[in-house]
Amino acid sequence: DAKTTQPNSMESNEEEPVHLPCNHSTISGTDYIHWYRQLPSQGPEYVIHGLTSNVNNRMASLAIAEDRKSSTLILHRATLRDAAVYYCILRFYNQGGKLIFGQGTELSVKP
């Protein structure tokens, strides 16, 4: 599985946008970029995924660089409830199965 690199931690203020970066310079053309998050004392939770184009859903937006070597998860207005560890995970297009979690980025949100 291709490797991802994320900052260990980030801080944000409540109601401001948050941009969480992920580098994946060895990504292959058929790897999907997935984001999950883990709220304190809870199981991981799916956030969003994409392949080449930017994606939006009710939780977040995913901006994918043109060369696909990096991506950014965007929370448009951070709330206190968004404080969590965010994981960027690559998945081969025809591979289901296990998720390989790294250390992720711990996001703290200040009121």
Interacting residues with another protein (CB under 8 A): 30-32, 38, 42-46, 49, 91-104
Cα atoms found within 13 Å of the Cα of residue 82, Cβ hemisphere only? 26
Give the pair of three-digit tokens for residue 48: 């969003």
Beta carbon nearer to another protein, 14 or 106 = 106
Beta carbon nearer to another protein, 37 or 75 = 37
Beta carbon nearer to another protein, 1 or 16 = 1
Instruction: Give 50's contacts (C-beta < 8 A, 6+ positions apart).
Output: 32, 33, 62, 64, 71
Contact in structure between 48 and 59 (CB atoms under 8 Å):
yes
CB of 19 vs another protein, minimal distance in Å: 23
CB of 12 vs another protein, minimal distance in Å: 22
